Amino acid sequence: VNSPADWQTELSSAFRDTHSLAQFLGQEIDNDVRYPLLITKKYAQLIKDNGVDGVLARQFLPTQSENSEKGFIDPIGDKKFSKTSQLIHRYHNRALLIPTTTCPILCRYCFRKNELNSDGPFAQDQEATLNYLQTHPEIEEIIFTGGDPFILTDNKISQWLHALASIDHIKFIRFHSRVPVILPSRMTLELKNMLTSFVDRFQIIIVIHSNHVSEWSPEAIQSLRNFQSENLIFLSQSVLLKGINDNQKTLKELFHFFVQNKIRPYYLHHPDQVKGAEHFELSLEEGRRIWAGMHDLIPGWMLPQYTIDIPHGHGKTQAFNPESIEFSGSFLDRKGRKVPVDK
């Protein structure tokens, strides 16, 4: 069992400047990139072991390409639906709660990369946030996102859950987190016990963000397996990224890995058009072509939903076959070709 202090020490001693990280890795890193850097020493070792141009280096080491001016600062329209500094109410019956603006690592492709930083602050708008939730009985689910909610201390998470427990209409609590992959020492028995102490009040769902099997160290797999409990639901979310997982073989391995480790595949996001991450984008046509063949490789129950956030706050839709919502007269076949059919 990891003591709570381990993960906090690991995080506070993380690399936050390119010079010391470059020295550790023994390789050059672009040092005039406009976005902050955060990589723990342990994860830096994994990046090193995976190779200078491996899928970990490409996801987490800063590069000049991030200084491009193309793309949007707020690609999915968070601002349009902000109700307090930490609450976004975009969908009728669920709301996003942002308890912090930092993460266990700063992913270079992140859709919120223009809002995050390497050391907080932890947002402090709890009263206004709770007031809003109390007066909106249609909200049934709170989605903790960020930033990464598992960067909060157990006390802080528990305070939030106690406060939310007093709002009768909230039934589901979802945590979106990269912590199980990146900072496994944080998946403590104390955190598990605290979360499971709320399961008579809420259904708790943990959505783990992972894009490639190589991201998982043996320690991360073991910590996750120790953390899992039949009282908690584990789902996956991944981003389809150019040069990282934009091929069927890698995706098949990833979805197999999730299922073998009791994580139910949930989302594969088409990348958002965020400023500073254009080099990770692939066209929707390419994404759909990759997706079209996945059914031939793995059964439907093992596939997540391939979704796209329509830019500027129009919300998520299925990226594979939007024709099923407003039928355009064609379906895509398994090779990604348009097949016209009668309406």
In whole angstroms, how close is the CB of 329 to ligand SF4 at the nearest point?
37
Is 270 a binding residue for ligand SF4 by CB under 6 A? The answer is: no
Torsion of CA 327, 332, 337, 341, to 10 degrees: -50
Q: How many residues bind ligand SF4 (CB under 6 A)?
A: 10
Cβ-based neighbours of 247, under 8 Å, separated by 6 or more: 290
Taking CB under 6 A as the rule, does residue 116 contact ligand SF4? Answer: yes
Spatial CA neighbour of 91 closest among 145, 141, 46 = 141
Q: Find residue 316's DSSP bridge partners.
A: 309
Options 108-116, 127-135, 220-228, 290-298: segment touching ligand SF4 (CB under 6 A): 108-116
Q: Which residue in 97, 95, 202, 205 sits closest to 139, CA to CA? A: 95
Distances 108 to 164, 251, 278 between C-alpha atoms, Å: 32, 20, 10
Residue 39 DSSP one-character state: B
By CB under 6 A, residue 181 contacts ligand SF4: no
Say whether residue 209 binds ligand SF4 (CB under 6 A). Answer: yes
Question: Is there binding between residue 152 and ligand SF4 (CB under 6 A)?
Answer: no
Q: Which residue number, 43 or 198, has a Cβ lying nearer to ligand SF4? A: 43
Q: Which of residues 76 and 103 has its CB atom nearest to ligand SF4 in the complex?
A: 103
Q: In the complex, what is the shortest distance from the CB of residue 324 to ligand SF4, in angstroms, rounded to a whole number?
A: 29
Residue 322: burial class (beta carbons within 10 Å; 0-12, 13-18, 19+): middle
Does position 103 bind ligand SF4 by CB under 6 A?
yes
Is 103 or 263 the residue whose CB approaches ligand SF4 more closely?
103
Judged by CB under 6 A, the stretch of 99-107, 193-201, 230-238, 264-272 that binds ligand SF4 is: 99-107
Q: Minimum Å distance from CB 147 to ligand SF4?
A: 6
Could you tell me the strand order of the sheet in which 87-91 lies? 82-84, 87-91, 94-97, 141-144, 172-177, 203-209, 232-239, 264-269, 305-310, 315-318
284 token code pair:
């929707």
DSSP 188: -
Does the protein bind ligand SF4 through residue 14 (CB under 6 A)? no
Nearer residue to ligand SF4 within complex by CB, 107 or 161? 107
Residue 212 found at the interface with ligand SF4 (CB under 6 A): no
| Interface residue list for ligand SF4 (CB under 6 A) | 103, 106-107, 110, 112, 116, 146, 148, 178, 209
